[in-house]
Amino acid sequence: MDTIFALATAQGRAGVAVIRISGPQSWNVGTALAGSLPKPRKAGLRRLTASDGTYLDEALVLTFEDKESFTGEKTVELQTHGSIAVVNSILKELGGFSDCRLAEPGEFTRRAMESGRLDLVQVEALSDLIEAETELQRKQALRMFDGAFGERVLSWRQSLIRAASLLEAVIDFADEEVPEDVSAEVSELLKMVIDALNKELTGFQSAERIRSGFEVAIIGAPNVGKSTLLNALAGRDAAITSEIAGTTRDVIEVRMDLSGIPVTLLDTAGLRETEDTIEALGIARAKDRASAADLRVFLKSGDEAVPDFIEAEDLVFETKADLTGKEDAISAKSGEGLDKVIQSITHALQQKVAGAGLATRERHRVALVQGVKHLETAERLVSEGSEIYDIAAEEIRTAVRGLESLVGKVGVEDLLDEIFSSFCLGK
């Protein structure tokens, strides 16, 4: 296996840069650069020199033994000065060693998975942690990275293997003294796992939204103050405001962090009847995006009727308090009631977040849905008698294989290249 290296910190000028070397020749390469290496897990200050004796930099050097590093391989980390020139000179020198090459995107993490240091769910969680923009995303990613989902999958797997083994014992030892009536215990095990999978599926949408972000659509008639509200919440002029009706023709998006919850606010075209073809397209798009959003904020003026697609959990505010003086109204222009809008949106989304599960990606959802399908079939077959226990056992085994694919034990080779390609070189 090749020894790989890469800059583990961000590209560009910085106070400190970390260069990671991992693989069978990493210690030899590190020794050639630093003259000697400190003991594993002990930092040591070393003078780095090229093969021709050129002084490259002074660096803090760390070493890790097999099974004790992030990748599970012998590893050397060089904490150098963050100069672009220094980093480039060291990377160039590393590229000159035989069997030592620049790492591919995500290759360090892939080696960590292949060595058993991480499962596939943890790999995905690490990617989410790197991409996390809000506190809630950070917490969710760390919970996954800590192995919570993998432990849950292992528990389900053990219960299902127990259920399948009971059925197969009856099949294999039908003529010996093995209790044939195992249906009660098997049915109990199946029901327990089915309930757990369904509970996880119930929380999937909220968990997935924490990872990707909730969408909140601001809707209402032209000139009701939608774009002004968006700009006020964003703290900048993200949308053009005008007294001319129909100014907003397309959906304008602004990313925000509301109490740790990732939110994309959508400013949509004003809802009205129009003969303008372009504006009509904008209104149609506004309705589609609003319907698909996780929450809608409807702004109205006076006694205006609420649209049919507004749901019970959606928010309704009367606007232009600066003109009407109404106590319960808001005004994005003067700032009156903006705190109430933010608090209401945050509270509504916190209600959704409360039921979040651990499954966060579509492949997780598909595996869980298929698992429920096979286990419900197995449950029905078990109730029909021991003559078809073999078919029921195979349904359970199929469900087990599906759950194993969640953590990367089987059937995920086609996913790996796509997953790891999203990582940076140093990960």
Q: What is the DSSP string of 218-246?
A: EEESTTSSHHHHHHHHHTS--S---SSTT
> Helix 226-234 vs helix 338-353: angle between axes, to the nearest 10 degrees?
80
Q: 259 phi and psi, to 5 degrees?
A: 55, 40
**Rounded CA gap, 107 and 2, in Å?**
11
**What pLDDT score was predicted for residue 81?**
96
3-class state of residue 266 by DSSP: strand
**What pLDDT score was predicted for residue 278?**
66
**What pLDDT score was predicted for residue 139?**
92
Could you tell me the CA-to-CA distances from 422 to 6, 112, 118, 181, 358 in Å, in that order? 16, 16, 17, 51, 21
**What pLDDT score was predicted for residue 237?**
55
Specify the pTM: 0.75
Q: How many CB atoms lie within 10 A of CB 85?
A: 11
Hey, what are 25's tokens?
């020749």
**Strands, sheet with 295-300, edge to edge from the N-terminal-most edge strand:** 252-258, 261-267, 214-220, 295-300, 315-318
**What pLDDT score was predicted for residue 27?**
96
- Give 147's Cβ-side CA count (13 Å radius): 8
Task: Give the model confidence (pLDDT) of 274-315 as tens digits.
Answer: 656 666 676 777 777 888 889 998 888 877 777 777 888 899
**Rounded CA gap, 33 and 94, in Å?**
9
**What pLDDT score was predicted for residue 22?**
97
Amino acid of residue 347:
H
Among residues 79, 107, 144, the alpha carbon closest in space to that of 5 is found at: 107
**What pLDDT score was predicted for residue 426?**
61
Sign of the four-CA dihedral 366, 372, 377, 382: positive
**Rounded CA gap, 102 and 178, in Å?**
59
Amino acid of residue 30:
G
- The residues of the chain scoring below 50 in pLDDT are 238-249, 411-412, 414-415
